[in-house]
Structure 1
Amino acid sequence: KRARQMSWENFNNNYLKIYKTKFPKKDYVIIEANPLIRYCVRKLGLKEGIFRAGFFILPIVIAITYFISVNFRFFLAGCYYMMIIFHLTNLLALKRMKEK
């Protein structure tokens, strides 16, 4: 049998299904682990909060990695941008859940 490929729409639907069973009160901010992003999302809204918190976290990452070797700095910067991409992917699913 061929492995079933999951489309982007199925991914969003599964994400929302799992989220609604774990968090029945529909507070979409609870799922966020980073307290800075959680605070910004509560105060500024979903989209603006994620972007603003991302820009607050970037100088912190740069300050932490300033005294570390150059190769490790690139690694941590890559991790930071992957985190932002992850949050923006979840943003699409959370916006759909908020609309329903």
Structure 2
Amino acid sequence: MEELMSRLEHVFYLNYFKLVNKTTKGTEFKGERNGEVVYLIPNKTISIVLDPNTISEELRLKSDGIYHSTVLKRFPKRLNTGESEITYGYSFKFDTERELNDFLNRYGR
């Protein structure tokens, strides 16, 4: 898993996303071109989460749904299933590093 995450971080770097913060729950990147924050989530599948405040309606409809986690520090909060609000964003899953690269290349402009 660590080797995969390292390769995925390199894909972000190639697409002008700078690593801002890294924890066991996720890695935060910021686009050098567009200023957008994207989180890379360590799952078995390649998973990223985008900001619900800045994502386009077109991308929102293509997302894999809403993802809630305390790791999404720069994103807004809302009530999910608990008594207190939690940060959330829209998740996207990719089968290959190439798919992630293509997505970031378009999104990071």
Which range, TM-score by smaller chain? under 0.3
TM-score, normalising length: structure 1 = 0.23
- Return the TM-score normalized by structure 2: 0.21
Q: Which has the higher helix share?
A: 1
Structure with greater Cα Rg: 1
